Every structure is written in structure tokens, then in C-alpha cells.
Amino acid sequence: AFIGPQGVGKTHLAMAYGRECCLQGYKTYFLKATELNQRFSEAIKYGREGSVVNGLVKPSCLIIDEIGRCVFNKENTRLFFDMVDRRYSKEGPNSMVFTSNLMPDKWCEFFNEDESLKCALDRIFDDAVVYMIQGESYRGKNLETYSIATTANRNK
């Protein structure tokens, strides 16, 4: 997991890891937490929970960006746990990468099923590497600002 404030390069590092996985021949899938939440909601609505979770279990590397940007309801939290649990017990090359502005102990605020989340976090952080990134945002470093003054048009 890459944890730290906005703009320090968490997504960039996660994508670089995913690119390296691809170069090594591993199927990799990247999505934002908001997309994952929406995908789970649609799966429940149309009765496709199994196929959606299967699709997220298949890749050797799954990257979920911006945990904590949206709230998962109870059903979606259970699907999140199911996905994590199945990936955890999956044989062969298997990695999950998460990015977040929040420490993992704050993730519970965005998932609405305490026990499922605790079980998921237990599996996510078993034998995990967590990078705590600190620093200032890289965004806006090349920002140029200009002042423009206007004058009233006195011609009528």
C-alpha cells in the first residue's frame, strides 16, 4: 500500500508497479475505489456479483486507487471482502496494491460492515509492505500566475 497526502506520487508509484508487472508478463488491472464501488453496486442491481468478483480475482496484480474517496455500503463492503478473501487464497502470482490518503485504521469510516472489513484488512496487511510517503505535493510546482487589471470602458 502507498499511504500519504495528496500529490506525493502514490498513484504514480502504483501505476509504475503495475507497468512493471505487465512487462514481466503478469495480467494487471487498475481501477479507482469509486469505480470499484460503482461496479459492485451495478453487479448487485443486475445479479452479477459472482462474475464481477471473478473478474477482479483473475489478474495477477490488482491496483485499487484512492481508498477513502467514497463510502461502500454493507453489500459492497461484503463484496470487497469476498474479492480480498478470494485473492488472498488464490494460488500463483498475486498482489494487491492500494493507495490512500488515509491510514488503514481510518478505512473503516468508508466501509459499512465492521466484521467484513476487519477480515479484509487482516488479509490485505498479512505479509504486506506499506510505504508511508511524506512530503509536499508535486502538483502545481510549475504553476504560473498572472495579474490582470481591467479598466472601465468610459466610451458610450
What pLDDT shows up at residue 141? 74
Which whole-number Å values give the CA distances from 126 to 36, 48, 64, 117, 130, in the listed order? 22, 29, 17, 14, 11
Mean pLDDT of 117-126: 84
CATH entry 3.40.50.300 includes domain 2-132: yes
CB 63 within 8 A of CB 17: yes
pLDDT at 114 over 70: no
pLDDT in tens, 26-79: 999 999 999 999 999 999 999 999 999 999 999 999 999 999 989 999 999 999
Cα 111–chain centre separation: 13
Domain boundaries, the chain: 2-132
pLDDT at 150 over 80: no
Residue scoring higher pLDDT (61 or 128): 61
Distance of alpha carbon 30 from alpha carbon 51, whole angstroms: 17
